[in-house]
Amino acid sequence: MTNPFDYLTILVSIVLGLAITNVLTRLATVITARHRVDFYWPPVAWALWIFFICVQHWWAQWGVRHAPQANFGSFWLQVLVPVVLFLMSALVLPEREENGRLDLGRWYFHNRAWFFSLLCALPLLSIAEELARTGRMASMLNLGFLLAFAAIAAVAIFLPSRRVQTWIAGQAMVMTIVYVAALYLMLPS
């Protein structure tokens, strides 16, 4: 290890790696059992979203490399984001067939409240981590997106209708693409 950043990011990377492994393994299960799957697209979309956010979070950790020495509290917040992503990866898709079938809709609605509770916590943890690390939010766009995403996740906890869940999944995917594109365009050249 050459510096504290290298040392501290190892744990973050391991937990993110476990989340990525978990979500990709479950996606592979859905693909390989495709003839025995009762398909429902929102959990597959959320699984892809988790994969994307894990990679994005790992990439964003590079931006923390010049931050002042981390304290234990801010490091805990930094580790909790990957922990939440790992837990979400376990809830998003089934890991194995049940009675010879994979019923994605049944699995999704069985785990919906837990999944969206964690999803609601995720942006709030991101805000807390940035505030603990820097003392301020660097981007109002980022703050607005994170708060909007937490609000959408909270709505998904309390509105179990298939139509609402489908709409929320679609909006969240579009919102994430717009958010990432806007942040990318704001990066210095």
Report the distance separating Cα 154 and Cα 118, nearest Å: 10
Question: Cβ(145)–Cβ(179) under 8 Å?
Answer: yes
Report the distance separating Cα 109 and Cα 169, nearest Å: 13
**What rounded mean pLDDT belongs to the chain?**
90
Question: Cβ(60)–Cβ(16) under 8 Å?
Answer: no
Report the distance separating Cα 109 and Cα 92, nearest Å: 10
Residue with the larger pLDDT of the pair 44 and 142? 44
**Structure tokens, 95:** 């890991």
The reported pTM is 0.91
Residue with the larger pLDDT of the pair 65 and 125? 125
Residue with the larger pLDDT of the pair 167 and 73? 167
The predicted pLDDT at position 187 comes to 66
How far, CA to CA in Å, does 22 sit from each of 18, 56, 187? 6, 17, 31
Q: How many residues does the chain have?
A: 189
The predicted pLDDT at position 88 comes to 98
| Burial class of residue 50 (count of CB atoms within 10 Å of its CB; 0-12, 13-18, 19+) | buried
Report the distance separating Cα 132 and Cα 74, nearest Å: 5
Task: Read off the pLDDT of residues 127-141 as tens digits, 9 standing for 90 and up.
Answer: 999 898 888 998 898
- Determine the straight-line distance between the first and last CA of the chain, rounded to whole angstroms: 31
| Burial class of residue 177 (count of CB atoms within 10 Å of its CB; 0-12, 13-18, 19+) | exposed
Percent with pLDDT over 90 in the chain: 66
Task: Read off the pLDDT of residues 41-80 as tens digits, 9 standing for 90 and up.
Answer: 999 999 999 999 999 889 888 777 666 667 788 888 889 9
